Structure 1
Amino acid sequence: MTLDDSTIPGPLAGEDRAAAIRDHLRDAIVDRRLAPGTKLSEAEVGVLFEVSRTVVRAALQALAYEGLVRIERNRGAFVATPTPEEARQVFAARRLIEPDIARAAAGRITPDEIATFRERLHDESRLMGERGPSARRAEIRASGDFYLLLASVAGNAILLKFMEELVARSSLVIAVYGRSGASSCGHNDHGNILDALEQRDANQAALVLLTHIDHIEADLDLRNTDNMPLRDALHRS
Structure 2
Amino acid sequence: MTSAVAAGSGLDEGAGVDRVSDGGFSLPPGRALAICLELQKAILEHRLRPGMKLSEDEVGEIFGASRTVVRAALHALAHSGLVTIERNRGAFVSRPTIREAHEVFEARALIEPRVARMAAIAMTDAHLENLKAHIDAEHVALAAGEMGKSLMLSGQFHIAVAEIADQQVLGGIIRQLISRSSLIIALYWKRPDTACESHSHHALLAAMKAHDGQAAEEIMKSHIVDLHSGLDLREQTHHELTLADVFRG
TM-score band, normalised by shorter chain: 0.7 to 0.9
**2:81 pairs with one of 60, 63, 67:** 67
- RMSD value, Cα: 2.5
TM-score by length of 1: 0.84
- Where does 1:1-237 land on structure 2 (aligned, <5 Å)? 15-131=29-145, 135-181=146-192, 183=194, 186-221=197-232, 222=234, 223-235=236-248
Matched residue pairs, number?
224
Shift of 1:26: 1.4
SS class of match (1:212): helix
TM-score by length of 2: 0.80
Runs of 5+ in structure 2 lacking a partner? 1-15, 19-26
Counterpart CA distance in 2 for 1:175 and 1:226 is 13
Counterpart CA distance in 2 for 1:232 and 1:130 is 20
In structure 1, give the amino acid aligned to 2:149: A
In structure 1, give the amino acid aligned to 2:239: D
SS class of match (1:77): strand
In structure 1, give the amino acid aligned to 2:242: P
Question: Which moves more between the two structures, 92-101 or 36-45?
Answer: 92-101
Where does residue 3 of structure 1 map in the other structure? Answer: none
Runs of 5+ in structure 1 lacking a partner? 1-5
Counterpart CA distance in 2 for 1:179 and 1:16 is 39
